Chain A
Amino acid sequence: MKTLFHINIRTALAALLLSLAPVLSAHAQQDSRIQMGALDHLAAKASQTVDVNIDERLMRLAARVFDDKDEDEREVKKLIANLKGVYVKSFEFETEGQYAAADIEPIRTQLRGPGWTRLVNVTSKKEGMLEVYLLFNGDVVGGLAVLHTDDKELTVVNIVGPVDVDKLARLEGQLGIPDLGIGSPKNKTKNDDEK
């Protein structure tokens, strides 16, 4: 009877774990979301603030008003199709020294977490420090984060979900996004030909 009881408990636990698996995996996928609440107090000091929070629901909703007949909009729609969220916080200050390194530390702590890889780190006296991070779930990109810290500027961009950086770069010049010249050479040639 005791053995039977043990088997039952094991079966129940296995069933519980199996049924919780989707919930747990969904939670694991949310790890690429960076909590930016620690930066909110900087809005009071900033001369200009950009704060964008678009979760998956709004993303789906926005996708419904993209015009499928328009090639550009179709591209953006494809890009955001699998994304879970886009979050941006950007502060511009009138004077230097309005924020300290400690203010960004909560963001950096999250980006030092498992899965995140710093792809690029560029520092210059003129334009501050620019870092690009990617979150990998195995071989798949699960999120993107860009951190730009300058004397008078602080910007954090967080894209949650499988983001295609190449596609994102190709968005330049579309839908009011200025052509910044970071598309692939192939596309550049194509665009030039069209002109």
Chain B
Amino acid sequence: MNDDYLWDKTGQPDPQIQQLEEILGTLRYQPKPLVLPHKRNYFPLLAIAASLLLALLAGGIWLRVRSRNEAPPQQASVETPKPNFEDEPVGTPKAPVNKSVVNPSPVVANNRRRNRSAPSALPKREREEALMAKEQLMLALRVTTEKLHLVHTRTQPNQIKNQHRVG
């Protein structure tokens, strides 16, 4: 038997070797083009994250601008200039509508009395601000209820008239 076949594939091959060649031949190296693994696309996630960030930023700016634009809230005021008695004709009746509205003293006095019993967990400065806000709030509610009362008293006679008509 010639061993050249095993060395340089010349000469007569051995049938067993041929059989082995056929079996192992399937596992022979076969050249293929290089394929890199597919890169993951992070664009949607980044886009969503950027959008959320932008939205939060916009919301923050909006809230800041809004709070700046608002009028100073604690500036409630009741202005009462000195009455000029010289210009006023004698016997002219004063308009009674707003007297109780623009004179906040009963509310203030009443609130001061009540505020003594209020909880004092707030710092002094904040508490003063809170008490002032409370007084102003009461004044506003007082004006509101007075106006609602006016509406009520003016609409009430009409209702009674209508009831009489129906009756």
- Contact residues of A with B, CB < 8 Å? 4, 7-9, 11-13, 15-16, 19-20, 22-23, 27, 30, 37, 43, 46-55, 57-59, 61-62, 64-67, 69-70, 73, 76, 80, 86-88, 90, 92, 94, 120, 122, 124, 127, 130, 132, 144, 146, 148, 150, 152-153, 155, 157, 159, 165, 168-169, 171-172, 175-178, 180-182
Contact = CB atoms under 8 A, between A and B. Distances in A.
B109 to A, nearest CB: 8
Contact of B141 (A51, A76, A120): A76
B111 A157 contact: no
Contact of A153 (B41, B95, B155): B95
Contact of B145 (A27, A62, A64, A169): A169
Which applies to chain A's interface (DSSP): helix, strand, loop or mixed?
mixed
Interface stretch (B2-10, B12-20, B118-126): B118-126
Given A19-B56, A65-B130, A178-B100, A58 B149 contact: no
12 contacts: A8-B44, A19-B51, A23-B58, A49-B79, A49-B102, A54-B137, A61-B126, A64-B119, A67-B119, A88-B143, A124-B154, A127-B154
A53 B79 contact: no
B144 A168 contact: yes
Interface size for chain B: under 10, 10 to 19, 20 to 34, or 35 or more residues?
35 or more
Contact of A64 (B75, B100, B130, B152): B130
B26 interface: no
Interface of B: 41, 43-44, 47-48, 50-52, 54-56, 58-59, 62, 66, 70-81, 83-84, 88, 95, 97-98, 100-102, 106-107, 109-111, 114-115, 117-119, 121-122, 126-127, 129-131, 133-134, 136-155
Nearest to B152: A182
Given A11-B47, A76-B141, A48 B114 contact: no
A174 B149 CA distance: 15
B78 to A, nearest CB: 6
- Most chain-B CB neighbours within 10 Å: which of A50, A54, A65? A65
A52 B140 contact: yes
Contacts of A50: 76-78, 101-102, 139, 143
Contacts of A175: 107, 110-111, 114, 138
B145 A48 contact: no
B151 A120 contact: yes
A172 B43 CA distance: 62
Given A50-B76, A122-B151, 8 more contacts: A15-B47, A52-B143, A58-B73, A86-B137, A86-B141, A127-B154, A132-B147, A153-B97
